[in-house]
Homo-oligomer: A and B are copies of this chain.
Amino acid sequence: MTTSTKSNSTTPNTSWRGDSAAIACLTFAVDAETPVLAAGRRYSSNAMAMSHQSYDMRRGLPRLLGILDEFSIRSTFFVPGFVAEMHPDAVSSIAEKGHEIAHHSYSHRPSTGLTPSQEREEFERGMEALSALDIHPVGYRAPMWAATWDTAELATEFGLKYDTSLMDDDRPYVISTGNGPLVELPPHWSLDDWEQYAYLPEPHLGNVIEPPEKALSVWTAELDGMREWGGLFQLTAHSFLSGRPGRAQNLRKLIETVLDRGDVEFRTGEELCAAALRDHSLDWRKQEPLEVSASAYPIW
């Protein structure tokens, strides 16, 4: 990527994080049945695996919405189109509570395993499914964060304003695309609940059951690091995982920890996107994939 900062803007410059030491953005992936089906349609016949995912809508999502209500925190929910079609009432209820809903593909199959036309179709069907619920997302997250080099162009082509899939920073930056700017809100595996909680042997979604207190230790360490360096603490929680009772209480503890720090504000993806565009000190970058020769890396 080439990098520049956009200094010729006519609007007054304001920091994307205001006066806060860091910004906390709680995001939720409402994946429901999609991670199991993305492993193969045949798993729809596995009643247990499907029930493991159905927990999401029945208990996980409502419980986490309740926790956010306690603190009056607006958050961002990433919803695959398939989930919007299967569970329209539950998805609408998220929006009705005032949260942001963002685009998370249609089927939750990783883009890196799809053809370009399949990736485009996933954008299209995902938009249509949300649109049918009168939801008009401005943000996008690739399933499994598996963005391709086409993803940013596709996102802006579909009118989206920000993405949260790339891990090359720990604060917002702007990607210049052929269709205008796309704010990037970088996530990271260490700020995800999947690596701490996901366990399902078939299809294999994960093989760890860590104590909530361990997850809290990982996240709090990163929170305090972000406070030192002025970063974006963007947590990714999955409602079928973090919606379990003990883990939901742990999310509450995380929120309390953030509040106790006293120098961190909560923002949604949408709010961060707008704030990033007002901050002229942030990097504007062009995506320029690394050229790799067969001489350096002979194995394709």
Contact = CB atoms under 8 A, between A and B. Distances in A.
B296 A148 contact: no
Contacts of A217: 211, 213
A151 B148 CA distance: 38
A55 B167 contact: yes
Indicate how many identical chains form the complex. Answer: 4
14 contacts: A47-B287, A48-B146, A51-B168, A52-B167, A55-B168, A55-B170, A59-B169, A59-B170, A86-B290, A109-B297, A190-B246, A218-B246, A222-B246, A225-B244
Interface string A272-300: 00000000000000010110101011111
A292 B109 CA distance: 14
A49 to B, nearest CB: 8
Interface string A138-180: 0000101111110100000000000001111110000000000
Interface residues of A, number: 90
Contacts of A208: 195
B247 A225 contact: yes
Q: Could you say which of A166, A213, A225, A294 has the most chain B C-beta atoms within 10 Å of its C-beta? A: A225
A102 interface: no
